[in-house]
Amino acid sequence: MTLDSPAATERLARLGYDYVCLDGQHGLLDYAGLLAGLTAIDAGGVSVGLVRVQANDPAQIGRALDAGATGVIVPLIDNAAQAAEAVAATRYPPAGRRSYGPMRSSLRIGPKPADADATTLVFAMIETIDGLENVERICRTPGLDGIYVGPSDLCLAVGGAYPNDPAVADVFEDALRRIQQAAAAAGVAAGIHVPDGESAAKRLAEGYAFVSIASDLVHLEQVARGHLGAVRSRGQQQ
């Protein structure tokens, strides 16, 4: 979800997706939007709410979790040390450095820090050349639940002139295989953002554990374009 529209978020969260991710990095959401979006997801009673936070920052990670996120996706992780910092931001002392103030999250998890530590997910984004080169070590970070591919940035990182640049398609696919295999070897989940359902099925068949399919804006535009095309086509036939 990139839009600050709780009603739309709730509708999509009732469709049967395992999770709905609020994009706090590139989306048009401030903290109030994240809070309203997570509340809307919980109201649907079907999906869990994840947040892609703006940066590998303990304050931002803590606020997203306090607002009720089941887990966080942390962008631009280049090495295992940064991955360990992200994990520490999701865990209460002595396991980490998360400050205690659960707010909404206590409604879902309960007040005990150990319960929150055991049920909070943290994923490191692999989207830079350093992240790719260090992916095996990143995956072995204690407490990390998985990694998540940012395909647009990763494509640029491996030499693409723009996202989905066909000139680097083979190199990009090799990178995706390496990332998936590194996660499997370490026993953590590998996830990736994809543009559509067919791509999602393809990546799952390749061994990816979870996929985020497009976004609210993309869904809206695609359906609206389809309706417009249908009526124009019908009009030309008459």
Q: What are the angstrom distances between the C-alpha of 208 and each of 23, 74, 196, 202, 205?
A: 21, 18, 15, 9, 7
DSSP secondary structure of 95-116: T--PPS--TTHHHHH-S-HHHH
219 is catalytic: no
Angle at 129 between CA 53 and CA 84, to 5 degrees: 50
In angstroms, the CA 41 to CA 10 distance is 5
Could you tell me how far CA 72 lies from the centroid of its own chain?
7
Three-class SS state of 55: coil
Cβ atoms within 10 Å of 7's Cβ, excluding its own: 9
Find residue 166's DSSP bridge partners: none
Tokens at residue 29, please? Answer: 């959401």
Which of 26, 193, 219, 227 is flagged as catalytic?
26
- Give the active site residues: 26
